[in-house]
Structure 1
Amino acid sequence: MDQETANALFDKGAFLLFLDAPENLEFGIDLATWTVGPRFKGIKIIPPGLHFVYYSGANRPGQSGGVRSGFFKFFESQEIVVKRWDEASEDVFPDSAMDLEQLGRYRLSKSHAQSCSSVRRVSTHIRDFDANLGIYPLTATAHHPTPVYPRWLKLCSRISTKRVGRVLPSGGILNAAEAESRFSENGLRAEPKGKGPAKVDQHALRIEFALIDLKKSFPVGATGSDVTKYSLDKSFLLRKVLQDHFENDHKELLGELQLSFIIFLVGQTYDGFEQWKTLVQLICMSEEALETLGNTLFVEFVECPEDFFTDAITSDSFLRASLVSLVANARARPQAPPALRSAIDGLVEGLLRRFRWDLMGEVRLREGADDEEAWGMEEGEDAPVVVEL
């Protein structure tokens, strides 16, 4: 990157000052993660928009890092966000703990200090930190050979400020050890491998996912044939979920799909996986969802860790059955949009090349079976209900 380009980005991008970070702290933003050194003071040239900043306790000899914590934040152009590490809690101080004296130490403007806010506009003072600020990985580097930013944009393209506020009402804060949701209450959540700092009430960090019951996918009072129909095709449930939780806005539903995936994949919080799983099944088993919702799933499948995907396709998992349903439903629509057909072809080819999984072969097997055998691929409590008449 030449100096002229760097200066232009410096003047437009946002900044995160991350002060008093201990050496060997695991620190990340979006899909990029580092182990920081003693001079680290934050990140510069952050593109405006949604980002997820996360960290875990410093690694010690013979120990792995702590439980991951972080926060979602919509950065504005030229915005400066200030966070300070609290060694006692192994997390950042709350914004309310950043008093006027502390802010004065970091050379923030008088008006900023008076507002007791952790945000201000860029001034010449930020350049004093320049040598200690890492650069947001906009382009390919030795550490990140594939540019992070384009991948991140695809993962969060539908997430709105409103959706973050509804799912994470604590101000976008996420802590893998302390977060709870309806999945925690139902005993579906996996126990964390580490123990994080218990410094706040768990209810303050509650994740408010939309309530979706895949087993109740048919209208009240439905006949036996309708129960079978709407258990196989979840389009009725999809319409009800959109009306009840997303104001009939497909983009908001996609936003929760993306947010739950990031909470799981990057935030390392299992509750996110459960909601993502529910939404994936709902979309893949809804014929009406293909044209408006299908493409977003393909982006997320690409970002799944290789071991996660390998385990999923070598077992009778929900993901294997969902992908077969998705492709079969798409093939059943001869007038499918070219973009959707292209995305499905890319998914099929990618799975065959990367994992040697002949997804299309399984789809053809299902298309040649009767309905009961075909839909029997979905096992367990989420299997479709078939009513014998």
Structure 2
Amino acid sequence: MPPSHQPSPTILLPQLPPKTLVGIDLVAFSSTANFHGIRDLPRGWHFLYTGTTESFSLRCGAWFYVGDISCAGKGDNETALVVAQGPQALAPEIYIWKWDTQTESLSSLTGDNDADRQEVMRYKANLGALWQSGGLFRFRSRVSPAMLSNKPGSAPAEARQAEENEETEEDGRRDWRQLTDRLSPELMSRIIGDPEVDIDGHPRWMVTSASTANRDADHIPGVDSPAVEEEPNSGKILEQEKEFGFLPIDLKRTWREGAIGRERTEAAQDKSWALGDLVFKYSSRVPGEVTVDERTGEAQLLGELQFTFLMVLTMMNFSCLQQWKRLLELILTCRRAIMDREAFMSEVLRLLLRQLERCDDVEGGLFEIDGDEGGEFLRNLLTKIRQSVDEVIPQGTESMVKTELDKLEVWVKEEYDWELKRDSIVRRGMLQLEDGEEIEMEMADNDADEETGEYAPMIVDLEEHDNVSVAELEEEDEASDLEDTRY
């Protein structure tokens, strides 16, 4: 680094052991003895995490923002969730996360004592020497095949490779921006908790692969005991693993308080009311006015969709996977919202396509880590939203939701061979065996569509229930049907 130039945004990782798994955004690698940090960090959100091994080890990471953090969370529609907090410092952004051998994680220097302050000054003073010695890794959003090959070639070939590398890099940065453009400090603090602030005032939000929401935790009597904290350093680790503050989604109750009969049935099948209620509760209020800006509430759902997916992608966090699925089930089973919240629904589908394009970055694949269910849950949800869009939006009518769904449908057809239109799926037919015998086959999930089996309508003889009101019978019938409508 020439002495006449200001250093680019850099994160220093002193005392990091060699062969440690290091991940920054969507790129992961194994550290070497000469690795001391990452330079040329672009503006925006970043997530850096470490693990003692590439697999089967606890991963610890933290979110931080490079640049003016008041700009975070605006998204494509420029719906800011935070208020500017005054001018940012003009000093170069240098982040120092020191390796803690006791917790096997990175901790920032907070400057609470003179030793920390002197250590920060020493690391910053040696920044130029680290740059010249090659100890700082240049930030890359994606590694292209050409970069993995060190074979020399001709000048034109090397020029083409350099051009391809730049295109790959730009594509990677654009993908990351689209996957994080709804994250904001407000959302991070709601989900993770208050951030840790370093000596220069940079906040960071800590997450581990073991972090979980209370509803997704397995509480075992005798194991979840306070005695664990008596072990050395366990208190610090437990403090980092804070409980996630996810949006409260109850898919078993998606109707308003006091609803009965047909209203409950419709709300169970079309979850638009539950979606609107959640958006309203988490929307920002204008001081002195009754109205709310529901765009901020919608941005909270979009941001949580982004956060949970990226925590599955990088940390393989089970609780985030469950919340990601709950959010998708709530949103993709709405019908009225297709018209009432057209901009929001189209942005969800656009985000989902970007996420699916990167789901193979998970070790083993996103759907494979979900057990036996795999991608079946998502295929069913996309089939439902396809049917709802075709029924709600008149043919020939322009719609942002339909446009984004068409793009998503083409992609899943090419990648997974999923057919989303029910009319194109053969649900019952004859299958000829090797010996020539023919048997009738039927899809396992066909009962719900055909209203047969356990999904068949229940017939009640009112003459046998003289002392029971019709309203009570309707409530009993709806209670038995509510669980069926979830599948």
TM-score normalised by length of structure 2: 0.63
AA aligned to 1:184 is: D
Q: Which residue of 1 aligns with 2:130?
A: 129
How many matched pairs?
349
2:411 is the alignment partner of 1:350: yes
2:272 is the alignment partner of 1:235: yes
- 1:71 alignment partner, SS class: strand
**Do 1:264 and 1:273's aligned partners in 2 also have CA atoms closer than 8 Å?**
yes
- Going from structure 1 to structure 2, the CA distance change for 1:314 and 1:182 (only over 3 Å counts) comes to closer
Instruction: Find the partner of 1:373 among 443, 446, 449.
Output: 449
Return the alpha-carbon distance in structure 2 between the equivalents of residues 255 and 92 of structure 1. 25
Q: Which residue of 2 aligns with 1:176?
A: 209
Return the alpha-carbon distance in structure 2 between the equivalents of residues 181 and 280 of structure 1. 17
Alignment of 1:219-298 (within 5 A): 219-247=256-284, 248=294, 249=296, 250-290=298-338, 291=342, 292-293=344-345, 294=348, 295-298=350-353
**Do 1:327 and 1:363's aligned partners in 2 also have CA atoms closer than 8 Å?**
no
Q: Which residue of 2 aligns with 1:161?
A: 185
- Going from structure 1 to structure 2, the CA distance change for 1:327 and 1:95 (only over 3 Å counts) comes to farther
Return the alpha-carbon distance in structure 2 between the equivalents of residues 286 and 316 of structure 1. 20
**Do 2:312 and 2:320's aligned partners in 1 also have CA atoms closer than 8 Å?**
yes
Q: Which moved more, 1:331-340 or 1:147-156?
A: 331-340
**Do 1:181 and 1:207's aligned partners in 2 also have CA atoms closer than 8 Å?**
yes
2:392 is the alignment partner of 1:322: no
Return the alpha-carbon distance in structure 2 between the equivalents of residues 272 and 310 of structure 1. 15
- Going from structure 1 to structure 2, the CA distance change for 1:228 and 1:236 (only over 3 Å counts) comes to same
Identify unmatched segments of 5+ residues in structure 2: 69-91, 149-164, 196-204, 221-232, 285-293, 428-444, 456-478
- 1:308 alignment partner, SS class: coil
AA aligned to 1:104 is: Q
Superimposed CA distance per residue, residues 296-347 of structure 1 (whole angstroms, 9 cap, x where no aligned partner):
2222222223733478798684222211122222223237655433322222
AA aligned to 2:100 is: D
Larger radius of gyration: 2
Return the alpha-carbon distance in structure 2 between the equivalents of residues 199 and 212 of structure 1. 31
Q: Which residue of 2 aligns with 1:115?
A: none
Alignment of 1:37-52 (within 5 A): 37-52=32-47
Superimposed CA distance per residue, residues 239-267 of structure 1 (whole angstroms, 9 cap, x where no aligned partner):
11112234432112111111111122212
2:249 is the alignment partner of 1:216: no
**Do 1:280 and 1:297's aligned partners in 2 also have CA atoms closer than 8 Å?**
no
- 1:358 alignment partner, SS class: coil
**Do 2:367 and 2:375's aligned partners in 1 also have CA atoms closer than 8 Å?**
no
- Going from structure 1 to structure 2, the CA distance change for 1:258 and 1:336 (only over 3 Å counts) comes to farther
- Let me know the Cα RMSD of the aligned residues: 3.7
Return the alpha-carbon distance in structure 1 between the equivalents of residues 42 and 268 of structure 2. 43
Q: Which moved more, 1:20-29 or 1:259-268?
A: 259-268
Alignment of 1:27-38 (within 5 A): 27-38=22-33
2:64 is the alignment partner of 1:73: yes
Residue 126 of structure 1, CA deviation: 3.1
2:376 is the alignment partner of 1:304: no
Q: Which moved more, 1:47-56 or 1:337-346?
A: 337-346
Residue 24 of structure 1, CA deviation: 0.5
2:24 is the alignment partner of 1:26: no
Return the alpha-carbon distance in structure 2 between the equivalents of residues 265 and 244 of structure 1. 29
**Do 2:27 and 2:143's aligned partners in 1 also have CA atoms closer than 8 Å?**
no
Q: Which residue of 2 aligns with 1:191?
A: none
**Do 1:227 and 1:385's aligned partners in 2 also have CA atoms closer than 8 Å?**
no
Return the alpha-carbon distance in structure 1 between the equivalents of residues 451 and 31 of structure 2. 50
- Going from structure 1 to structure 2, the CA distance change for 1:38 and 1:69 (only over 3 Å counts) comes to same
Return the alpha-carbon distance in structure 2 between the equivalents of residues 337 and 161 of structure 1. 36
Return the alpha-carbon distance in structure 1 between the equivalents of residues 374 and 119 of structure 2. 56
- 2:236 alignment partner, SS class: coil
Identity among equivalent positions (%) equals: 21
Superimposed CA distance per residue, residues 99-146 of structure 1 (whole angstroms, 9 cap, x where no aligned partner):
53344345459xxxxxxxxxxxxx886333222111111575445874
Return the alpha-carbon distance in structure 1 between the equivalents of residues 402 and 417 of structure 2. 21
Return the alpha-carbon distance in structure 1 between the equivalents of residues 334 and 219 of structure 2. 27
**Do 1:287 and 1:329's aligned partners in 2 also have CA atoms closer than 8 Å?**
yes
Return the alpha-carbon distance in structure 1 between the equivalents of residues 283 and 238 of structure 2. 26
Return the alpha-carbon distance in structure 2 between the equivalents of residues 102 and 124 of structure 1. 14
